[in-house]
Homo-oligomer: A and B are copies of this chain.
Amino acid sequence: MRVGVAGLGLIGGSLALALRARHEVRGFDVDRDTRAAAARGGVAVVERSEDLLPADAVIVATPVAAVLPTLAMLVARADGAVLVDVASVRGPVDGFAREHGDGARIVGMHPMAGRSARGFAAADPALFVKRSFLIVPTVRSDADAMRVAGTLARDAGGVVTVCSAAEHDRIVALTSALPLALAAALSVAASEATPDLAAFSGPGYRDATRLAETAVDLGEALLTANSANVVAAIARLRAVLDELERAVAERDSAAIRKILEAAGSARALLG
């Protein structure tokens, strides 16, 4: 396929590098230095976003704030191209698709992958190998558009799961936004307790707070664009934490063990 990639940061850059073995890939980024870096990295780059078309598919992997403007630009001249966006909250894109016509063949393709490092310099064609991709239809996702998104996810090395926008946003609030919120709250609470966190912490604490390194723009978007689901996720977390706190306060070993065993079993299912 002819595949355009708008946005050549960690995710878009990695997709461009992963897909160019099987597809005719062209990339664009608003940042001149990023375009130059991608070109040096072997990605065919164009100088204007419009030049990503004509194409069979255009992947939108811009920062969150630019997703809807980029989709609007593409819809106006898509001429049948499938528009695949990697936005990590589906509600806003879902609403955008409802407001646009049949030309807006938009499908969500959200990779469950990432790392703290950012930009094309961190891009890696192996980033998605065996990672889950959530393929999320909009009202404009016809069968062929869904097939295209699934093919791109698999060709990037990933494993495909299809779900609705509502299901996506409800569950990702628990598996993505809530871990970010907890890492941030833990990092703040622990740093208030000692000026020498490095001495008083080990690899467990490092793992538990790694998501506190998330870029602030992305973190803010994950939390605000999915606000109702994130509030519900925090409520679910608080219910378990309250019970655990009660058990700790009362040294109720049986109750503590029950929670730790349930947590360990659920974690073990991840393999």
Q: Which residues of A contact B (CB under 8 A)?
A: 111-115, 131-132, 134, 159, 161, 170-172, 174-176, 178-194, 196-214, 216, 219-220, 223-224, 227, 230-231, 233-234, 236-241, 244-245, 247-249, 251, 253, 256-257, 259-264, 266-271
The A interface is mostly helix, strand or loop, or mixed, namely helix
Inter-chain contact B263/A187, CB cutoff 8 Å: yes
| A175, A205, A234 pick with most chain B CB within 10 angstroms | A175
In-complex Cβ contact of A175 among B134, B205, B213, B249 (8 A)? B205
Do residues A193 and B174 form an inter-chain contact, with CB atoms below 8 A?
Answer: yes
Contacts of A234 in B (CB 8 A): 241, 244-245, 248
Chain B minimum-CB-distance residue to A266: B191
Q: Which residues of chain B have C-beta atoms less than 8 A from A183's C-beta?
A: 208, 263, 267
Inside 8 A of A131's CB, which chain B residues have their CB? 202
Q: A270 contacts which chain B residues (CB < 8 A)? A: 197-198, 201, 206, 209
Q: Kindly identify which residue among B180, B208, B213, B220 contacts A268, using a CB–CB cutoff of 8 Å.
A: B213
CA distance A61 to B271 in the complex (A): 29
Residues of B within 8 A of A248 (CB): 181, 223-224, 227, 230-231, 234
Cβ–Cβ < 8 Å partners of A210 in chain B: 204, 207-208, 267
B188 touching A263, Cβ below 8 Å: yes
A112–B194 Cα distance when bound, in Å, is: 15
A178 to B248, CA, bound (A): 11
A247 to B207, CA, bound (A): 25
| Choice from B115, B132, B204, B239 contacting A176 with Cβ under 8 Å | B204
B contact residues around A185 at 8 Å (CB): 237, 240-241, 244, 259, 263
Q: Can you list 22 A-B pairs with a CB-CB distance of less than 8 A?
A: A114-B203, A131-B202, A132-B199, A170-B193, A171-B200, A179-B204, A180-B204, A181-B244, A184-B240, A184-B264, A185-B237, A186-B237, A187-B263, A188-B240, A189-B233, A190-B266, A207-B211, A208-B208, A212-B266, A220-B253, A234-B244, A234-B245
The residues of B that contact A209 with a CB separation of less than 8 Å are 179, 263, 266-267, 270
Given A196-B161, A201-B112, verify A261-B216 contact (CB < 8 Å).
yes
**C-alpha spacing A238/B244, complex, angstroms:** 13
In the complex, which residue of chain B has the Cβ closest to the Cβ of A199?
B161
